[in-house]
A and B are shown apart, each in its own frame.
Chain A
Amino acid sequence: MAPAGPRSGDAIFASVERVNAELFTLTYGAIVRQLLTDLEEVDEVNKQLDQMGYNIGIRLVDEFLAKSNVSRCVDFKETAEVIAKVGFKMFLGVGASVTNWDAEGTCCSIVLEDNPLVDFVELPDTCQGLYYCNVLSGVIRGALEMVSMKTEVTWLRDVLRGDDVFELQVKLIKQVPEEYPYKDDE
């Protein structure tokens, strides 16, 4: 029997159970508010959101691989395309595009068309350093680490801080394939 090909983000999004979008937005908002109350420092909250995202990402990647049926990506360009077109679509229902590749093909930008996390949200003056959606950068970093890629994910543009779109920069630091101690020279 021929193996099934990779599925599109739309098809998977349509087939999984979904939750009310407002419940999702409100739950995330409650988490950020609680972190601000508990930690008080905006930088600490940014770090915690990234860590939470990392913990989500390391688990999410297996579900992504199981449901989307993608095969191993040949290079980082394909990886970024798959994250933008299938990953974001499948989990958040939003489209995203990849732009701004550097010369070596190790650094790119992912631009989100939409962002359900920030519906109804406005940042007050007291929280100007906050990256409200920092959980997303942690998710990508965690997910890629589980498939042997160490990356750095940062926000270039953030609508809540006055820009026109959400833009994430994903930089591949290095590939770390599984080490097996079977080499003769060791």
Chain B
Amino acid sequence: MAAIYSLYIINKSGGLIFYKDYGSAGRMDTNDTLRVASLWHSMHAISQQLSPVLGCAGIELLEADNFDLHCFQSLTGTKFFVVCEPGTLHMENLLKYIYELYTDYVLKNPFYEMEMPIRCELFDINLSQAVQKDRVALLGR
């Protein structure tokens, strides 16, 4: 069964505000994750400029030999992207669901400062439940 390797959430300025590692493949230290996040932020922005079509919203899917990268950007500029095994299904739905969890457990926490790293236990708990394999399959209804 296809698996998720990692999840990143980037704020609108390109700073990493959340990183979660789910597999042993591609484990990175904190500095590397920050670099990868800003790199992705820049590439996403460049792709919008390069697009031959007007109104491009940026890269949604990157397919490589060993992994797929699915990215969802909200209209407020926050990006949610997940690195997973090639061919994993239902990642777009998972990202939309994680966006909803973010709006509930992060944004509604009055002690969470906007654009800062996410340290919300309720978000972590609900996120782990969402990422479990059987839940991911259920999201593809």
Which A residues fall within an 8 A CB radius of B?
A: 1, 58-63, 65-67, 72, 146-147, 178, 180, 182
B101 CB, min distance to chain A CBs, angstroms? 9
User: Known interface pairs A1-B140, A67-B100, A178-B77. Does A62 touch B49 (Cβ–Cβ under 8 Å)?
Assistant: no
Pick from B19-27, B31-39, B102-110, B122-130 the stretch touching chain A.
B102-110
- Is A63's CB under 8 angstroms from B107's CB? yes
Interface residue ranges, B against A (CB under 8 Å): 12, 45-46, 49, 55, 57, 74-78, 93, 96, 99-100, 102-104, 107-108, 114, 140
A-B contact pairs, 24 of them (CB 8 A): A59-B107, A59-B114, A62-B74, A62-B76, A62-B78, A62-B107, A63-B104, A63-B107, A63-B108, A65-B74, A65-B75, A66-B99, A66-B102, A67-B100, A72-B55, A72-B57, A72-B75, A147-B75, A147-B76, A178-B12, A178-B45, A180-B45, A182-B45, A182-B49
A58 to B12, CA, bound (A): 13
- Given the known interface contacts A59-B108, A59-B114, A178-B12, the answer about A66 and B45 at a Cβ–Cβ threshold of 8 Å is no
Instruction: Tell me which residues across on chain B come within 8 A of A147, comparing CB atoms.
Output: 75-76
Q: A66-B99, A178-B77 are in contact. List 11 more A-B contacts (CB 8 A).
A: A59-B108, A60-B107, A61-B76, A62-B78, A62-B102, A62-B103, A63-B108, A65-B74, A65-B75, A180-B45, A182-B46
Give the residue of A1, A146, A182 whose beta carbon is less than 8 angstroms from that of B76.
A146
A125 to B20, CA, bound (A): 57
Residue pair B45, A63 in contact (C-beta under 8 Å): no
Minimal beta-carbon separation of B73 from chain A (angstroms): 11
Q: How far is the CB of A182 from chain B (nearest CB, A)?
A: 6
Contacts of B74 in A (CB 8 A): 62, 65-66
Q: Of A58, A61, A66, which is in contact with the most chain B CB atoms at under 10 Å from its CB?
A: A66
Q: Provide the residues of chain A in CB contact with B102, threshold 8 Å.
A: 62, 66
Expressed in whole angstroms, the minimum distance between the Cβ of B84 and any Cβ of chain A is 17
CB distance from A98 to the nearest CB of B (A): 20
Q: Which residues of A contact B55 (CB under 8 A)?
A: 72
CB distance from A37 to the nearest CB of B (A): 22
A63 vs B31: C-alpha distance when bound (angstroms): 31
Pick the contact of A66 from B12, B57, B96, B140 — CB < 8 Å?
B96
CB-CB under 8 A from A180, the residues of chain B are 45, 49
Evaluate contact between B140 and A62: CB separation under 8 angstroms.
no
Q: How far is it, in angstroms, between the C-alpha of A61 and the C-alpha of B103 when the chains are bound? A: 9
User: What separation, in Å, do the CA atoms of A162 and B49 have in the docked complex?
Assistant: 52
CA distance A79 to B75 in the complex (A): 13
Tell me the bound Cα distance from A62 to B78 in angstroms. Answer: 9
